[in-house]
Amino acid sequence: MANVKLNNKSLLEKLQAEITLKLGKKMSQQDVLDKSIEFTYERLDEFILENTDHPVLTKDLIERIRNNRYEGPLEHPEKSDDELIYGL
Q: What's the CA gap between 75 and 34, in Å, rounded?
A: 55
Q: What is the mean pLDDT of residues 6-29?
A: 94
Threshold 0.75, pTM exceeds: no
What is the per-residue pLDDT for 31? 95
Amino acid at 85: I
List pLDDT tens digits, range 30-81.
999 999 999 999 999 999 888 877 777 899 989 988 888 777 777 888 888 8
Contact 88, 82 (CB under 8 A): yes
**Contacting residues for 61 by C-beta, under 8 A, at least 6 apart:** 55
Q: What are phi and psi of 59, to 5 degrees?
A: -60, -40
Residues constituting the chain: 88
**pLDDT over 70 (residue 25):** yes
What is the per-residue pLDDT for 70? 76
